[in-house]
Amino acid sequence: MEGYMSTVVMEQRKKIHPHKFTLWVAIASISMMFAGLTSAYIVKESQANFLNFNLPLAFWYSTAAMIASSVTIWMAQKKFKNREMASYRKLITVTFILGLLFVALQVVGFRELYKNGLTLTTNVSVSFLYVIVFLHAAHVVGGVVALMVMFIKAFRTKTKSYNAVPVEVMGTYWHFVDFLWIYLLVFLLAVR
């Protein structure tokens, strides 16, 4: 019986946590959506009326905020696993603030585009830019909401849970939206 129990325990350790599995399915779906959008962008680029324009400077600043937030969430994960809760709280706070900064800088970038006459109805190329960047920003806003929940839980004194799965899931998702933004930025620069 003891050998059977150890086999069951080993089998359960090999299985992926349901939250992690769900995250990977979501990441695959989101990746396919953005692959489709960027493929359509390439097809539409061959049209004669396709408009080339410069990306707003705010998008570059938002990139720096996103990369910095990826570093801080990675550090927060390490601190959480080591049960260094004071450092974890500081790092999750900084990550949350950087996430908010990314969203704010995206809004500034869209305002700059709008001010320069580049609206959703200007041209198909501008419409694609709005759709692609807005969809990414929407995924980041979802991540910021999750970060806010983690931030609140980190400062709640009643609960002392050291389950690393939520922190790992959030970290993976946040790194994904960071990578996705860098991919989109490089893509938009390459097709100009």
- The tokens for 184 are 């989109």
Residue identified by tokens 């990306």 is 55
- Using N-to-C axis directions, what is the helix angle for 124-155 and 18-45, rounded to 10°? 160
Spatial distance between the Cα atoms of 187 and 185, rounded to a whole number of angstroms: 5
DSSP summary character for residue 157: S
pLDDT at 141: 92
Query: Which stretches in the chain have pLDDT values below 70?
Result: 1-14, 48, 157-161, 192
Report the chain's terminal Cα–Cα distance, integer Å.
Answer: 66
Q: Where are the alpha helices (DSSP H) in 46-164?
A: 57-81, 85-115, 124-155
pLDDT at 142: 93
Spatial distance between the Cα atoms of 192 and 178, rounded to a whole number of angstroms: 22
Spatial distance between the Cα atoms of 76 and 92, rounded to a whole number of angstroms: 6
- The tokens for 42 are 């390439």
- Using N-to-C axis directions, what is the helix angle for 165-190 and 124-155, rounded to 10°? 160
pLDDT at 117: 86
Minimal CA–CA distance to 61: which of 98, 111, 116, 115?
A: 98
pLDDT at 41: 85
Percent of the chain at pLDDT > 70 equals 89
**Domain layout of the chain by residue ranges:** 19-190
CB 165 within 8 A of CB 20: yes
pTM of the complete model = 0.84
pLDDT at 16: 84
Spatial distance between the Cα atoms of 151 and 149, rounded to a whole number of angstroms: 5
Query: Which class is domain 19-190?
Result: mainly alpha
Spatial distance between the Cα atoms of 76 and 95, rounded to a whole number of angstroms: 9
